[in-house]
Structure 1
Amino acid sequence: MSTSTTARQSALDLIDSRPLTRNQKNLVALAIVGNIAEFFDIFLIGFVVSVLTKPWHLTGSEAGIILACSGLGTVIGAIMWGRLADKIGRRSSFFWCVLMFVVFTVVSVFTPDRGWIMLAVLRIGVGIGVGGLNITSIPYVQEFVPAKQRGLLAGLASVFIPLGLFLGSLAQQVLGDNWRGLIALGALPVFLLLWLKFVPESPRFLQSHGREEEAREALAWALEMPADQIGDLPVVEHVEHASYSLIFGKYRKSLLIVTLGSFCFILGSFTIQSWGQTLLKTGFDKSDSQVGTLFMFVSLADLLGRLLSAWLADRIGRRVTMLVFGVVGAVGSLIIALSAQQGWGWQAFFIGVLIAMAFGDGAFGILNAFGSEQFPNEARSTGLGLGYGIGATAKVIGPALMGLMVGGTAVKQNVTLDAVFPAFILFSVLLVVGGVIYMFARETRGTSLDEI
C-alpha cells in the first residue's frame, strides 16, 4: 500500500464506509424521477389505446400493432443506448434518451384521427428513448454507491416506475377521453435535462477511459469532500473496449442469462400493462373511470413488489429473490387464466392481475440491476443493454400475440376474454422458467463492482 493510501482512505473504502451524501441521494432521485416520467408515457399508451378503440374502430390487430411498436422501440433503445453508454458515457446517454423521448412524444400529439399507423411509428421513437433510460441509469447509480446497498439503491431506479402507471391512471381520471391531452403530458420530462446539468459523469466510466482526474472529481462530488482527500482509485485494467462481439465472445453465459431471464419476466407483465385496461373495459364492461381507478391499485401493488425485491436482494441474495418472485408471479398469471376460462368474474381476474404485477413485474426492482452486475465495468451497459434488449422482444411479441388472438375487424372488433386462458397459461410457465434461469447467474450480493 502506498504512503498516500495510508494517509487517506482509498476511494472504494470511502464509498463503502461513509453514509450516503446529499449528492448521492440526488443522483438516485434523478434516476427515480427519470424512470417514472419516461415510463409514465409507456403505460399511458395502454390507456390511450383503450380510449381510441371504439372511436377509431381499431381491430385487435391494429391495437396490438400500436402497443407492440412501443415495445419494439424499447428493444432498439436498450441495445443502442447500452452500447453508447459505454462509449460516450452514462450521463450523455441519459441526456439524449430524455431528449429523444420528449421530441417524439410532442410530435405524437399531432397524430390525425384514425392515424393509427402514424401513431404506431412514432411510438417506436418514444420507445427508443425510454428503452435506453433504465439501461443507462442503473449503471450510473451503481457506480456511485456502496456495494452493501447497491441492490436497493440501483433497484430504486426501477422500483418507482409503477408510479408512472399510477399517474397515467390519475391523468385518465382527469382528462377522460382527451387522448391528445394524455399524450401531451408525456413531454413533461424535459425538465430532467436541467437537473442533469448538476450531476457529473460516472467515475468508473471516466477512469476506464483514462480520465483519472475527472474520475477523482466525480467521486469528490459524490462524497462531498475535496478531491485531494480522495485516496487511491481502484486499479482499472484496460481491456478491449466494449463491443457486441466482445459480449458474444467473452460473456456468452451472462448474456444468455440476462436475455432469457428478461424475456420470460417481460412477456406476461408487459402484456398486462398494455392490454389489461382494454380487457377490463371491453371484456368486463368497465368504464374508463373504473379502469383508471383499478389500475391505480395495480400500480401500487407493482411498486410494493419492486421495492420488496430490491430490498430482499441485499438480504437473501439476488438469485433466490428472482426465483421466489417468478413462482409467485406465475400463480397470479394462472389465476388470470382460470378466471377467464371458468367465468369467475372481474374480481378474480383483477386479483390475478395484482399478484402477477406485484411479483412478476415486481421482480424488476432488482432484475436489471442484477443483470448489469453480470458484466465488468467496461462492458456493463453494453452487456445489460444487449441482453435486456434482446429479451425485451417480449414487449413486441406479447402485445402482438394478444392482438392476433383477440382478432376482429373494423366492423366487429371482437375484443373478448377468449384469448386470455392460453396466453396466460404460457405467461405462467415462462415466469417459473425465468426464476429458474436466474439461479444460474453469479450471485453478486455485497460484491464490489471492481471484483466482478
Structure 2
Amino acid sequence: MKEVKKVSKKYIYFFGSFGGILFGYDIGVMTGALPFLQIDWNMHSAFWEGCITSSLMFGAIFGGMMAGHLSDKIGRKRMLSLSALIFIIGSLLSAIAPNNGYIYLTLVRVFLGLSVGAISATVPNYMSEMTPAKSRGRLSGINFTMIALGTLLSYVVDYFLQYLPASFAWRTMLGVAAVPALILFIGSLRLPGSPRFLINHNRIDEAREVISLVQPKDQIENEIKAIQNIKKAEDQTTNQTKLIKMFTGKYRYLVIAGVGVAAFQQFMGVNAIFYYIPLIVAKATGHAASSNLMWPVIEGAILLLASFLFLAIADKFKRRTLLILGGTGMGLSFILPAVINTLFTHVNPLITIFFLCIYVGFYGFTWAPLTWVIVGEIFPLAIRGKASGTASSFNWVGAFLVGLLFPIMTASMSQETVFAIFGVICLMAVAFIIFKVPETKGRTLEEIEKKYVKE
C-alpha cells in the first residue's frame, strides 16, 4: 500500500482548487493583451481577433474530453499535475510568438487550452469528492473564487504592464501565466488521491487514510461503505460509459442536467464581457481600447466580491433558487440597455457598461460558481470523469463560439442588440433549470446517484 502524505484540510482545499487561478488568468489575460497585440502587429481583422482569443477555448474543448478519460485512469491529482506542466509550456511558447505570427499564436493557444479544459473538468471532481455533503457547496465554490482571483490577477497585471512598449507588454502578460502554473505543479505533488478514485481502483486502505484527513473518524467507514455499494452496483452493469449511452441510458437525466448547465453558462455570453470589455468600452465611448484597462479591473473586482458572497450563502440556499435568480438578473441586465436605447435618444453610452457590471455581479454569486459545484456533484461515480469531461467540453464550445463570434457580430450590429440576444439565452437557461435540473443541496454524492439514476 502506498503511504498517504499527511497534509491539512486547508492544504487540500487550497491546492485542490488552485487550478482555478490558471483557468481564470488565461480567461482574463487576453482582455488586456489584445489591444497591444493589435498595435504591435497592426491587426485590424475581426476574424483574427476572434481566432486568437477563442483558440484557447477551442483547445479546452478537447482538454475537457482528455481529462474526462485520463482522470478516471490516472486519478484527479495526477491530472492536475499534468495540466500544470502543459500550462507552463504553453504560456512560455505564447510569450515568444514571432512577429505577425497569427497562426503560431493561435495554435499555441489551442495547446494551452488543453490544460485549461483539463483543469476545468478535474478541479470540480476533485473538490466534490474531497468534501462532506453539508459543506460541499461552499468548499467546492472555492474553485470559482480561485477562478475569479485568477481573472482579477490577470487584469491587474495587464493594467500595470500597459505602459511598457506594446510588443513587450502583451508578451509579458501571456508569459507571466507560467508562474501560478509552477506553483500548482509543486503544490499538487503533495495532494492525496480522491477517495472515490482510490476505491474505484480497489485501493481501500489508501482511501481510508485520505478520508481520515477530511472527515470525522466516526464517518470514515460509513463513507467507504457507501462508495463501495455504489461501485458494486456499477460493476454489475454493462457498457454504459460510451458517450451515446450517457445521454440515452439510465444516466441520461443527470447527464443532460449537468451538461446543460455547463453549456448554458457560456452561451449566456459572459465571456463577451471578460474577453472584450476594453473594446466594448472603446466602441461605446470612442476612446482607444488600450486606455480602458481599468474597466477589466473593475469587472474582475466585482466578480471576486460576488464569489465571496457565494461562499457566505452557498449552503444556505438551494442550488436551483440561486440559478433561477441569477439567470433572471443576468437576462434583464442584457435586455434592458437595448430597451432603454430604443425608447430614449441621447442615452449616455456608459449605461450599457453599468448594466454589464450588474450582470457580472449576478453571474459571480450564482451561475459562475454553481455550474462547477453541480458538475462536480451531479454525475454518477461510474461515469463521473467522462461526464465531467463532456460537460467541460460543452462549456468550452460555448466559450469558443462566443469568443469567436462576438467581434464579428458587433461589426454588423449594435452592441446592445448583441447583448439582448444573449439576454434571451439567459432566460432560456432559467427555463432549463426549472424543468430539467434536480436539487442536489445537502445530499451526498451517493444519495444523488441513488435518487436520480433511472434503471
TM-score w.r.t. the length of structure 2 is 0.85
Distance in 1 (alpha carbons) for counterparts of 2:340 and 2:67: 40
2:444 to 444, 448, 451: 448
Q: 1:275 to 1:116 in 2, by over 3 A?
A: same
User: CA deviation digits over 1:19-53, x for unaligned, max 9?
Assistant: xx972221211134321133212210122112222
The CA distance in 1 between the partners of 2:130 and 2:369, in whole Å, is: 18
Letter of the structure 2 residue corresponding to residue 369 of structure 1: V
Query: In the alignment, what sits opposite 1:120?
Result: 106
CA distance in 2, matches of 1:343, 1:381: 52
Q: Which residue of 1 aligns with 2:172?
A: 181
Instruction: Give the alignment partner of residue 49 of structure 2, picking from 56, 63, 66.
Output: 63
Q: Are 2:414 and 1:422 equivalent residues in the alignment? A: no
TM-superposition CA deviations, 1:298-325 (whole Å, max 9, x none): 1121123334345444222111111100
Q: Distance in 1 between matches of 2:392 and 2:110?
A: 17
CA–CA distance in 1 between the matches of 2:244 and 2:304?
36
Whether contact under 8 Å (1:340, 1:349) holds in the other structure is no
Equivalent position amino acid for 2:45 in 1: T
Q: Deviations over 1:324-353 (max 9, x none)?
A: 000001122224545776653343122111
Which stretches in structure 1 are left out of the alignment for 5+ residues? Answer: 1-20, 408-415
State yes or no: 1:432 paired with 2:418. no
2:270 maps to 269
Would the alpha carbon gap of residues 92 and 245 (structure 1) be closer, same or farther in structure 2, given more than 3 Å must change?
A: farther
Does residue 354 (structure 1) correspond to residue 354 (structure 2)? The answer is no
CA offset digits 1:224-247 (Å, max 9, x no partner): 98xx99545224133258543442
**In 2, Cα distance between the equivalents of 1:287 and 1:311?**
39
Does the 8 A contact of 1:402 with 1:419 survive in 2?
Answer: no
* Alpha-carbon displacement from aligned partner over 1:240-269 (angstroms, at most 9, x marks no partner): 585434423332222222333322221210
Cα distance change on mapping 1:285 and 1:171 into 2, 3 Å: farther
CA displacement 1:342-392 (0-9 Å, x = unmatched): 653343122111111222354111112113322122322321221231243
SS of the residue aligned with 2:273?
Answer: helix
Identify the residue that residue 139 of structure 1 maps to in structure 2. 125
Q: Which digits, 9 at most, give the CA deviation of each residue in 1:153-175, with x for residues without a partner?
A: 10111123122222122112221
Instruction: Please give the alpha-carbon distance, in whole angstroms, between the structure 2 residues aligned to 1:261 and 1:109.
Output: 34
Structure 1 residue corresponding to 2:145, chosen from 135, 142, 159: 159
Label 1:326 to 1:394 Cα distance change in 2 as closer, same or farther (>3 A): same
Output the CA distance in 2 between the equivalents of 1:38 and 1:379: 24
Distance 1:298 1:261 in 2: 23
- Structural mapping, 1:221-370, within 5 Å: 221-222=213-214, 230-231=220-221, 233-235=224-226, 236=228, 237-238=231-232, 239-240=234-235, 242-248=241-247, 249-267=249-267, 268-287=269-288, 290-337=291-338, 344-360=347-363, 362=365, 363-370=367-374
Percent identity of the aligned residues? 24
One-letter amino acid of the counterpart of residue 220, structure 1: S
1:51 partner letter: F
Counterpart code for 2:418 = A
1:137 Cα offset (Å) = 1.1
Structure 1 residues 340, 448: closer, same or farther in 2, change over 3 A?
A: same
Q: Is the 8 A contact 2:63 2:115 kept in 1?
A: yes
Structure 1 residue 205 and structure 2 residue 197: aligned?
Answer: yes
Query: Residues 257-297 of structure 1: CA distance to partner in whole angstroms, max 9, x if unpaired?
Result: 23333222212101211122222235423456752222212
Distance in 2 of aligned mates of 1:185 and 1:151: 31
CA–CA separation in structure 2 for the residues paired with 1:348 and 1:195:
44
Letter in 1 for 2:110: I
Q: Give, in whole Å, the separation in 1 of the partners of 2:45 and 2:10.
A: 46
* Amino acid aligned to 1:47: G
Deviation at 1:403, TM superposition (A): 2.5
Note closer, same or farther for the CA distance 1:449–1:25 as it changes in structure 2 (3 Å cut): same
Taking the aligned partners of 1:337 and 1:70, their CA distance within structure 2 comes to 30
For residue 177 of structure 2, give the secondary structure of its aligned residue in structure 1: helix
The SS at the match of 1:54 is: helix
Q: Is the 8 A contact 2:61 2:396 kept in 1?
A: yes
The separation in 2 between residues aligned to 1:388 and 1:212, in whole angstroms, is 29
CA contact (8 A) 2:61 2:114 kept: yes
Preserved contact between residue 86 and residue 378 of structure 1 (Cα < 8 Å):
no
**Secondary structure, counterpart of 2:39 in structure 1:** coil
Is the partner of 1:58 in helix, strand or coil? Answer: coil
Contact 2:195 2:207 (C-alpha < 8 Å) held by counterparts: yes
Question: Is contact 1:134–1:158 with CA below 8 Å preserved after alignment?
Answer: no
Q: Check the 8 A contact 1:51/1:288 in 2, yes or no.
A: no
Kindly indicate whether residue 176 of structure 2 is the aligned counterpart of residue 191 of structure 1. Answer: no
Q: Secondary structure at the residue paired with 2:176?
A: helix
Q: How many residues align?
A: 421
Q: Distance in 1 between matches of 2:341 and 2:81?
A: 43
Asked if 1 retains the 8 angstrom alpha-carbon contact of 2:352 and 2:416, the reply is no
Distance 1:294 1:404, change over 3 A: closer
Give the root-mean-square deviation of aligned CA atoms.
2.5
- 1:304/1:436 Cα in 2 relative to 1: closer, same or farther (>3 Å)? farther
Compared with structure 1, are the counterparts of its residues 334 and 138 closer, same or farther at alpha carbon in structure 2 (3 Å cutoff)? same
